[in-house]
């Protein structure tokens, strides 16, 4: 995934958050995301907060894609 695609996905996610926050009248919106989105969210979060008067509480973490193991799989 390239940087531009990641930025577009982040923008789309924040747009969805803005719309849902406007309906819910939320004072704080919690976002759990990968550290890969740090730069994009650091840039977009102030814009979101200014336009919606809601506060973002962003938690960054490392995420791995892994399927849960099942009992039938060898270890």
Tokens 């973490």 appear where? 61
> What is the rounded distance in angstroms from the CA atom of residue 50 to the CA atom of residue 56?
11
Confidence of residue 68 (pLDDT cuts 50, 70, 90): low
pLDDT of residue 2: 61
Enumerate the domain spans of the chain: 3-61
pLDDT digits (tens, 9 = 90+) for 9-46: 777 777 776 666 555 566 788 888 888 888 988 998 99
Stretch (H or E) spanning 18: helix 3-24
Q: In sequence order, which residues have a C-beta less than 8 Å from that of residue 63 and are 6 or more positions away?
A: 34
pTM passes above 0.75? no
What confidence tens digit (pLDDT) does each residue in 42-61 have? 998 999 888 888 888 988 88
Decide if pLDDT at 66 tops 60.
Answer: no
pLDDT at 46: 92
């Amino acid at each position: 995934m390239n940087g531009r695609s990641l930025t577009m996905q982040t923008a789309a996610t924040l747009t969805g958050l803005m719309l849902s926050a406007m309906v819910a009248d939320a004072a704080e919106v919690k976002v759990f995301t990968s550290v890969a989105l740090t730069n994009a969210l650091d840039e977009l979060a102030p814009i979101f907060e200014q336009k919606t008067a809601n506060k973002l509480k962003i938690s960054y973490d490392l995420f791995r894609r892994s399927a849960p193991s099942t009992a039938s799989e060898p270890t």
